[in-house]
Amino acid sequence: MEVILFYFCGALMVIAGAMMVLSRNAVVAACWLIFAFINAAGIYATLSAPFLAVLQVLVYAGAIMVLFLFVVMMLQGPVLAGERRRLRPWLWPFLLLPPLAILLTVAGFLRRADNTSFPVAAPAGFGSAEQVAGLLLSRYLLAFELISIVLIVAIIGSLALGKVDRRQPWK
Amino acid sequence: MEITLTHYLVLATLLFLTGMLGFIVRRNAIVMLMCIELMLCAANIVLAAFSRWHLDLGGHVFVLMSFAVAAAEAAIGLAILVEIYRRRRTVNVDELTTLME
Amino acid sequence: MELFANLLGKIEALSSQNVLILSSLIMALIMALVMAACAIVFTWMERKVAAFLQSRYGPMRVGHWHGVAQPVADMLKILQKEDIIPAEADRTLFTLAPVVIFIGSLLAWAAIPFAPGFIASDLDLGLLYIFAVSSLAVIGILMAGWASNNKWSLYGAARGAAQMVSYEIPLALSTVPVVLYTASLNMNDIVIAQQGGVANWFLFRDPFLFVAFVVYFICSIAEVNRGPFDMPETESELVAGYHTEYTGMRWAFFFLSEYANLFLVSCIATAVFLGGWWAPIPGLPLAPALNFIVKSVLLVFLHMWVRWTLPRLRVDQLMYLCWKVMIPIALICVIGSGIWLMVSGQAS
């Protein structure tokens, strides 16, 4: 069951990621990315991380990507003019790196027979909301508080950036 | 057939490289931000996989932190892009070269 | 209603056997049927309630009694409509959008406990799952509004997205006090914790929970985009908002999900605040599912009452209400409920 889920979601996720990069239309790219993130939730489910899976859908698909879609739709037409422009020559070698790395990883993956399997079955309740929250509010309390400050700063920062100066309405 | 740690690492590598390639190739700043999100997601999968490997929930906490950072990054990044668009009427990174000249 | 309860009872017996896949399939089918039934029953109900509140009769002709067959006639009419896709629309996204919205509302039904044991998927994170999945509908709305390539659609979608994303926060926050009490996000646990009569319902456990319920109700109206918060589809400003360009069956999908969502938020309120399947007085010989459905339908009636009574808000007033009124009140409820729990010694 988990095997099927992993291959299904993983394959869809890679395809969706590739389609995001390939689609010229930014709105379509955002939709593909949403699809990739929903599949990532499936990947988390196979890792016995249900809490992360739900939060992945809630935070990424439900909030962050809505923000992206919103901005893409408001800013401009779907296809950016000049998107088709050729890449700078000095960047060309870099284009070869990812396929090379993909080949290397897959080759290495296929060569090694003794892939490291997970040690034991996950204990009951591993990755549940209680356990993660328990850790979050004890051992990682400081980090938890700091991340809330990061979020507050982000809110204030984006408000300050997005504020239109009403005294100069022509701007 | 069994799903091993290596499977997850390969998947994360593929996703990360897809995101990286997109970041290099695309000229639309918003799509570049999306590619960053995809790379972050790949990193999250690695964190969750190693968390499962060590049976230590610390990795899950890091993923939660990463969610928050991604949200903050998206909000600030998009706010900056909106502001840039308001001034320059474009989000094409090839045309935003004021600091380069 | 009796018939429906009987049916539920039969399925309940069936799903108690451990036929996992079969029972999930049957459950999924039932949930889809529930959604369809919602649309059919509530369109008629909405017309009748609206008519009643405006001193009219409403539909009276179709069917023998008070126009009960009106939804059937409507459905037949919708089926015959021409399926139009605007020439300038993005075809893929245009056809995909109603499906995304529909899936978003169908998935959420999986974690609603209608009766003891009658839950499609007894998730540990049930409440969080419902909120997560129902947030997918926003994406469908944005897709529909953008793909239509029509300024009214785009305005409607933008308003809808802003409104739904904003109101999700107080909506989820207002259920946190209940989670404080139950120490569980499982919908079954939440309902079981309210065993006994009215006094044990979370609505009346402490004053903060009552306020939280009011916040939940107001936010749920905004979440399903109905009046007085129907900014995404204001008829007088935006024609019909994000589904302006849709016709026939595609439009029916939007319609179906709107009523399914309406029933869904009412079901969540019933399970979380109003004691779920427990009867108001303990020992009252009523079927659990019947209790649940009657309470939810009463809440739906309340939604309709509000819709046809109050005038529509402005967009800025809507956002003001969310960020400066609802979220602070919900936060106060969370803190107040926590203190109440500690002081009254119920904390575990």
- Name residue B2's amino acid: E
Whole-angstrom Cα distance, residue C194 to residue C187? Answer: 11
What is the C-alpha radius of gyration for chain B, rounded to an integer number of angstroms? 17
List, as ranges, residues 63-92 from B with C-beta within 8 Å of A: 63-65, 67-76, 78-83, 85-86, 90-92
Whole-angstrom Cα distance, residue C118 to residue A98? Answer: 50
Distance from CA of A100 to the nearest CA of C (A): 34
Angle at C102 between CA B74 and CA C304, to 5 degrees: 100
The predicted pLDDT at position A109 comes to 65
Q: Residues A1, A71: one domain?
A: yes
Arithmetic mean of pLDDT over chain C:
81
In this structure, the number of other CB atoms found within 10 A of the CB of residue C190 comes to: 24
> Which among A50, A80, A110 is the end of a domain?
A80
Establish if B94 touches chain A: CB-CB under 8 angstroms: yes
Contact A69, C161 (CB under 8 A): yes
The predicted pLDDT at position B44 comes to 92
Chains B and C touch (3+ CB pairs under 8 A): no
Establish if A149 touches chain B: CB-CB under 8 angstroms: no
The reply to whether A97 falls in a domain is: no
Chain B partners (3+ C-beta pairs within 8 A): A
Tell me which residue in C139, C154, C168 faces A34 most closely, judged by beta carbons.
C139
The reply to whether A91 falls in a domain is: no
Contact C42, C34 (CB under 8 A): no
pLDDT exceeds 70 at position B1: no
In this structure, the number of other CB atoms found within 10 A of the CB of residue C62 comes to: 15
Q: Residues A11, A70: one domain?
A: yes
Listed as ranges, residues in chain C with pLDDT below 70 are 1-21, 23, 235, 346-348
**Over the stretch A5-51, which tens digit does the pLDDT of each residue have?**
888 888 898 889 888 888 878 888 888 899 999 999 888 888 888 88
| Token couple for A17 | 């990621």
- Cβ-Cβ contacts under 8 Å for A78 (sequence gap 6 or more): A25, A26, A27, A28, A72, C90
Q: Residues A64, A139: one domain?
A: no
Tell me which residue in B15, B51, B63 faces A13 most closely, judged by beta carbons.
B15
Would the CB atoms of A75 and B80 count as touching at under 8 Å? no
The predicted pLDDT at position C17 comes to 46
Q: What is the DSSP letter of C321?
A: I
Q: What is the mean pLDDT of the segment spanning B33-55?
A: 88
- Cβ-Cβ contacts under 8 Å for A160 (sequence gap 6 or more): none
Whole-angstrom Cα distance, residue B77 to residue C276? Answer: 44
The predicted pLDDT at position A150 comes to 92
Distance from CA of A38 to the nearest CA of B (A): 11
Best residue in B57, B69, B81, B96 to probe A by mutation, most A CBs within 10 Å? B57
Residue with tokens 């009867």: C279
**Over the stretch C285-333, which tens digit does the pLDDT of each residue have?**
777 778 888 888 899 999 888 888 888 888 888 888 888 888 999 999 9
The predicted pLDDT at position A84 comes to 58
The reply to whether A32 falls in a domain is: yes
Tell me which residue in C125, C135, C158 faces A62 most closely, judged by beta carbons.
C135
Q: What is the complex's ipTM, to 2 decimals?
A: 0.87
Three-state secondary structure call for residue A49:
coil
Residue A51 sits in a domain of what CATH number? 1.20.120.1200
Of the candidates C163, C175, C161, the residue with the CA atom closest to the CA atom of residue C125: C175
Whole-angstrom Cα distance, residue C249 to residue C81? Answer: 8
List, as ranges, residues 5-64 from B with C-beta within 8 Å of A: 5-8, 10-11, 13-15, 17-22, 24-28, 30-31, 33-35, 37-38, 41, 44-45, 48-49, 51-53, 55, 57-58, 60-61, 63-64
The range of the structural domain enclosing residue A138 comes to 128-164
| C255, β-bridge pairs | none
Tell me which residue in A102, A115, A122 faces B52 most closely, judged by beta carbons.
A122
Cβ-based contacts of B1 with chain A (< 8 Å): 3
Would the CB atoms of C185 and A66 count as touching at under 8 Å? no
- Cβ-Cβ contacts under 8 Å for A134 (sequence gap 6 or more): none
Number of domains in chain A: 2
Cβ-based contacts of B30 with chain A (< 8 Å): 26, 68, 71-72, 75
Contact C176, C334 (CB under 8 A): yes
Would the CB atoms of C158 and A62 count as touching at under 8 Å? no
DSSP string, C74-106: HHHHHHHS-----TTS-HHHHHHHHHHHHHHHH
Establish if A137 touches chain C: CB-CB under 8 angstroms: no
The reply to whether A8 falls in a domain is: yes
**Over the stretch A85-127, which tens digit does the pLDDT of each residue have?**
556 667 677 667 767 777 777 777 666 655 566 766 777 777 7
| B92, β-bridge pairs | B28
Q: What share of chain B is helix, strand, coil (3-state, %, to 5)?
A: 75, 5, 20
Residue, of C207 and B93, whose pLDDT is higher: C207
Cβ-based contacts of C162 with chain A (< 8 Å): 70
- Name residue B15's amino acid: L
Best residue in A65, A86, A142, A158 to probe B by mutation, most B CBs within 10 Å? A158
Arithmetic mean of pLDDT over chain A:
78
End-to-end CA distance of chain A: 57
Contact C2, C293 (CB under 8 A): no
All structural domains of chain B: 5-92 (1.10.287.3510)
Of the candidates C102, C106, C263, C231, the residue with the CA atom closest to the CA atom of residue C167: C231
Chain C partners (3+ C-beta pairs within 8 A): A
List, as ranges, residues 30-69 from A with C-beta within 8 Å of B: 30, 33, 36-37, 40, 43-44, 46-49, 51-52, 55-56, 59-60, 63-64, 67-68
Share of chain C above pLDDT 90, in %: 4
